[in-house]
Chains A and B, each alone.
Chain A
Amino acid sequence: MSQQGKPTVVVIGNGMVGYKFCEKLIAKTAAFQLVVFGEEPRRAYDRVHLSEFFNGKSAEDLSMSTEEWYAENNIVLHLGDSVTDINRKDKVVYSLHDVAQPYDYLVFATGSSAFVPDVPGVEKEGVFVYRTIEDLELMQAYAKIARKGAVMGGGLLGLEAAKALIDLGLEETHVVEFAPRLMPRQVDSVGSNMLQAKLEELGLQMHLQKSTTNILGDGKIDGLQFADDTLLQVDMLVISAGIRPRDELAKKAGLEVGPRGGIVVNDRMQTSDDHIFAIGECALHEGMIYGLVAPGYEMADTVATLLCQGEKLFTGYDMSTKLKLIGVDVASFGDPFVSEPDARTIAFEDKNKGIYKRINLSTDGKYLLGGVLVGDAAAYNILLQTVNNKLTLPPNPEDLILGSRGGEGDTGAGVMSLPDEALICSCESVTKGDICSAVTEDGVSSLEGMKKCTKAATCCGGCAPLVKDLISETLKANGAYVKNNVCEHFDFSRQELFDLLKLNNIRTYDEALDTFGKGDGCESCKPTIASILASLWNDVIAKQSTIQDSNDRYLANIQKGGTYSVVPRIPGGEITPEKLIVIGQVAQKYGLYTKITGGQRIDLFGAHVSDLPDIWEELIDAGFESGHAYGKALRTVKSCVGSTWCRFGLQDSVSFAIEVEDRYKGIRAPHKLKGGVSGCIRECAEAQSKDFGIIATEKGYNLYVCGNGGSKPQHAQLLATDIDKDTCIKYLDRFLMFYINTADALTRTATWLNKLDGGMAYLKNVIINDSLGICEQLEQEMQSLIKNYHCEWKEVVQNPELRKGFAHFVNAPREKDPQVKLAPMRGQVKAMEW
């Protein structure tokens, strides 16, 4: 008993499972005093995402809890201290640092260590295991002097470790595997081969069926010798050949352990001593060690439930798994290997794209038994649910891996056929019923809300797509989610609103809300309608400043720390020395950081909101105009120097770029627009990565549309060939206006085209053949927008009432925000970290 008279539970080990046990017990009861011993120097951290440590995540980012959490829940945490002895008779544990801690219940959560095979030379410098943050720190330090690295072990952990070596920047990364293929425990041989091909494409070198007999080198590793007498030169080795349960303390205390390691437990997770439990990777249940986190959490829950007098048994756990190995999706579920005559298999192999999918059906074809996915594991969650819940298969089960071909896709509909008890988030034991009732009863409508409400998708995150589908399908079933509405205030899509506002000649947001909406608006519908109004009428947006997104309200881009950046228009990237000098002088005067942008202009960062009108006054005096870098509007038309200077140039690309940029400047669209003009096929202006791109040919120009860079780059597609300048502009007018009239809010041209029924062929028909008979109207609408062009900043600078809106303090307009802090960097300034 502890001092407060509560029974004491001592937990040995502060890994993921040990931590989860504490969390689960605390959630159920405050009746116990918890004492935790952890031999590592830090609090429990997320070992599943360990490789992200090399992608810049810190140890603290990976941490599963805070110091305060332990204090708040009155948990005594001994870090950097391991238990060395147990007196089971008197129920006391003794630690390395001489703590004597009595217990009522003892929980082993000692986890596992890396299994290091008995190969001569494993003690050499440059040989590592991949298990803890300390291991990673050692690898990180050594990688600086290493060029070639190898991983021993081609299983799940080994490939994770190989990813780590790639992230560390080694020139060569080798994987050495004893078996004839990769991931032999999870994936069948066809899947292994596909995975191997994909990984080799990504630069990994595979050495299969290799048994390492010697680690070579004088003091430090310089090579591996294999049983077939071949050699591999490496100067760094990571051993990842499996795990070994940490059962040495249990053994010393006289508890029963398995012949090949592991503390023997029953279905209650009790060891051979009723008051001592073992959970996670150190526990041996029915001859099985579970090396995944989800079953460990289930064991933790079992013990926590039993301690609260509840009844729960652990009866084995599904070892299905899905992971992304160096960018390649791999999943294995149910029984991945069962085959004829005990099952019927359906397999799909696409060597071109590196995709392999296999499902195993029961012999009557009614049920799914398991399968393997490589290269595309999008269907994993629903397939796993189909196995676990013994769902009856549809008449064409091949649709499960091929997708339904022809007709409307019914993706997502499948989730609703799951029974309520289907386990969706296995880490946090959240069922479909829990998620649906959170939507129906508690009004949860987003993934974030669901995480808060049920904890689903908060651990490994693998179930997040399924959770999202369930939320939207449940909303749909409840009739709440009808279509692609702008937000809760308007039951219309952007395109519907666009037409309504146009037909009813609506010019202000308030009119729109009163006529077609309800409530008081929000941060979704306000900027959407602001953009539609701008696309329709091209009025001065500053006159309705409070419905604009922040950047449009202040006509500048808000940056870290609350300052703004300023981008004057530099059409086609052409600028005179005089204008360059003015930009330099303005930057000097207002203390701004200057940088050349990707669109051939100059960005000035770090402006106080209250300085913006003064800065622009000076820029406008020098002949500059707003660059609309803050708006969903035309940004730049990038150009190469073209025939005026370049010896390859076929046309004057700079002049054309300037003409096009000046034509469409200030036009607002559902998303930003970028253009490019190249003087020849060498394409130095990168026009094919833009929303519209023009490339000079000997006969005229080729026009490309609907490309973009960003997170999902997509090349623009050819709309017309060898057209003259006027035709090019005519098609561009039509194309841009058609996009503005029909795209959803915040949809770039590339995504818009991808969603357009009929795709590029249809677009060509509309723009070139006028198949809808709207081209004349589109051209007129564009003319009217061009006619109404005005420089927004000029309007503000000349209008004292609008200028007033840029004060930081309305009751002290001359004072700047004292919270703005800038730090020096390479002779300029930068924003302070947040």
Chain B
Amino acid sequence: MEVAVLTSVEWVLVCKTYDVPQNGGACVKHHDEQIAIYNFSRRGEWYATQNLCPHKQQMVLSRGMIGSTGDTCEPKVACPFHKKTFSLLSGECLSGDDYQIKTYPVQVVGDEVFIGFEK
């Protein structure tokens, strides 16, 4: 018999929807972690990633511009320092480097924004 392994996720209320600018990002704090949260209002979508850009170890991804790339309109964020871009879906670096950033699931209930952390 196959057993599905479900990682349990803890949903944490991090901010209100109006705290994050439309089509932009903001940084939230969860314990010692800094998380960049993106309000992709043009698509009605929310994303969250680590705030640290792995290229020069700077806590700035939340201040980057978001957008899309390619035929599939893959959502992405560009680091404000050197414009390295990362997929908001997979966390993969899209500008040709071997970087990977962490992504988190986001849920919006009413005007409250929750981020899912693995327990």
Any chain A CB within 8 A of the CB of B27? yes
Indicate whether B75 reaches chain A with its CB closer than 8 angstroms. yes
Interface mask (A436-461 → B, CB under 8 Å = 1, otherwise 0): 00000000001011011000000000
Digit string of B41-57 for contact with A (CB within 8 Å is 1, else 0)?
A: 01100000000000011
| Residue pair A810, B27 in contact (C-beta under 8 Å) | yes
**Binary flags per residue of A802-814, CB closer than 8 Å to B gives 1, else 0:** 0011011111100
Question: Which listed residue, A489, A519, A525, A819, touches B34 by the CB 8 Å rule?
Answer: A819
Q: Judging by beta carbons under 8 Å apart, are A522 and B63 in contact?
A: no
Interface centre among B20, B27, B85 (most CB of A within 10 A): B27
Nearest opposing residue in chain B for A820, CB measure: B59
B81 within 8 A of A: yes
B106 located at the interface, meaning its Cβ lies under 8 Å from any Cβ of chain A in the complex: no
A448→B21 contact, CB < 8 A: no
Contacts of A527 in B (CB 8 A): 65
- Asked whether A817 is an interface residue with its Cβ less than 8 Å from the other chain, the reply is yes
What string of 1s and 0s marks CB contacts (under 8 Å) between A571-599 and chain B? Answer: 00000000000000000000000000000
Interface string of A794-829 (1 = CB under 8 A from B): 000000000011011111100101010000000000
B40 contacts the other chain (CB 8 A): yes
Say whether A448 contacts B59, CB under 8 Å: no
A446 to chain B, nearest CB (A): 7
With A and B bound together, what is the CA distance between A527 and B29 in angstroms? Answer: 28
User: B102 contacts the other chain (Cβ, under 8 Å)?
Assistant: no
B22 & A546 in contact (Cβ 8 Å cutoff): yes
**Is B57's CB under 8 angstroms from A522's CB?**
no
A811–B68 CB distance below 8 A: no
**Nearest chain-B residue to A450 (Cβ)?**
B96
Chain B residues with CB under 8 Å of A560's CB are: 56, 58
Inter-chain contact B43/A526, CB cutoff 8 Å: no
CB distance from B21 to the nearest CB of A (A): 5
B57 touches A523 (CB 8 A): no
**In the complex, chain B residues whose CB is within 8 Å of the CB of A554:** 63
Indicate whether A151 reaches chain B with its CB closer than 8 angstroms.
no
Per-residue CB contact flags for chain A residues 300-322 toward chain B (1 = under 8 Å, else 0) read: 00000000000000000000000
**A562 & B78 in contact (Cβ 8 Å cutoff):** no
Chain B residues near A488: list those with CB within 8 A. Answer: 69-70
Among residues of B, the one whose C-beta sits closest to the C-beta of A444 is B96
Cβ-based interface call for B67 (8 A): yes
Residue in B19, B25, B57, B60 whose beta carbon sits within 8 Å of that of A811 in the complex: B19
Of the candidates A525, A558, A805, A810, the one whose C-beta lies within 8 Å of that of B15 is A810
Structural contact, B15 and A521, CB atoms closer than 8 A: no
* A522 near B65: Cβ-Cβ < 8 Å: yes
Q: Which residues of B contact A545 (CB under 8 A)?
A: 21, 24
C-alpha spacing A522/B70, complex, angstroms? 11
User: Is B91 on the interface with A (CB-CB < 8 A)?
Assistant: no
CB pair B63–A550 under 8 Å, yes or no, is: yes
List chain A residues, Cβ under 8 A from B63: 550, 553-554, 558, 609
B residues near A609, Cβ cutoff 8 Å: 63
Q: Chain A contacts of B56 at CB under 8 A?
A: 560, 834
Partner of A522, one of B59, B68, B96: B68
Instruction: Tell me the complex Cα distance, A368–B96, Å.
Output: 38
Interface residues on A, range: 35 or more
**Would A805 and B75 be within 8 Å (CB), given that A811-B14, A812-B29 are in contact?**
no
In the complex the two chains form, is A810's CB within 8 Å of B67's CB?
no
Asked whether B21 lies within 8 Å of A805 as measured between CB atoms, the reply is: yes
Q: Is the CB of A819 within 8 A of B64?
A: no
Are B80 and A811 touching (Cβ within 8 A)?
A: no
Chain A residues numbered 512-557 whose CB sits less than 8 Å from any CB in chain B: 519-523, 525-527, 545-547, 549-551, 553-554
B15 contact set on A, CB distance < 8 A: 810-811
B residues 59-92 in Cβ contact with A at 8 Å: 59-60, 63-70, 73, 75-76, 78, 80-81, 83, 85
Neighbour of A562 across the interface among B22, B60, B96, CB < 8 A = B60
- Minimum CB–CB distance for B43 against chain A, Å: 6
Q: Is the CB of B26 within 8 A of A810?
A: yes
Q: Which residues of B contact A561 (CB under 8 A)?
A: 58
Assess whether B100 is interfacial by the CB under 8 Å rule.
no
Q: Do B24 and A521 touch (CB < 8 A)? A: no
CB distance from A239 to the nearest CB of B (A): 42
A510 at the interface (CB under 8 A from B): yes
Q: Is the CB of A558 within 8 A of B81?
A: yes
Which residues of B have CB within 8 Å of A520? Answer: 40, 42-43, 66-68, 73, 75
Chain A's nearest CB lies how many Å from the CB of B71?
9
Residue numbers in B under 8 Å from A546 (CB-CB): 21-25, 65-66
Nearest CB on A from B86, distance (A): 12
Considering the chains assembled together, what is the distance between the CA atoms of A489 and B73 in angstroms? 10
Q: Compute how far the CA of A119 lies from the CA of B2 in the bound complex, rounded to whole angstroms.
A: 81
Question: In the bound complex, how far is the Cα of B63 from the Cα of A369, in angstroms?
Answer: 56
Does the CB pair B96–A811 fall under 8 Å?
A: no
Residues of B within 8 A of A551 (CB): 80
Residue ID in chain A nearest B96 by CB atoms? A448
Docked-complex contact A519 and B65, CB < 8 angstroms: no
The reply to whether B59 and A810 contact each other, CB–CB distance below 8 Å, is no
Chain A contact residues, CB within 8 Å of chain B: 446, 448-449, 451-452, 488-489, 510, 519-523, 525-527, 545-547, 549-551, 553-554, 558, 560-562, 609, 804-805, 807-812, 815, 817, 819, 834
Known A522-B78, A609-B63, A811-B19; further 10 A-B contacts with Cβ < 8 A:
A520-B42, A520-B67, A521-B23, A523-B78, A526-B67, A546-B24, A810-B15, A810-B27, A811-B14, A811-B29
Q: Lowest 6 A-B CB distances belong to which pairs?
A: A546-B24, A550-B80, A522-B67, A523-B78, A520-B68, A810-B19
- Jot down 9 A-B pairs with beta carbons below 8 A, ordered by A: A448-B95, A449-B96, A488-B70, A489-B67, A520-B40, A520-B68, A520-B73, A527-B65, A558-B80
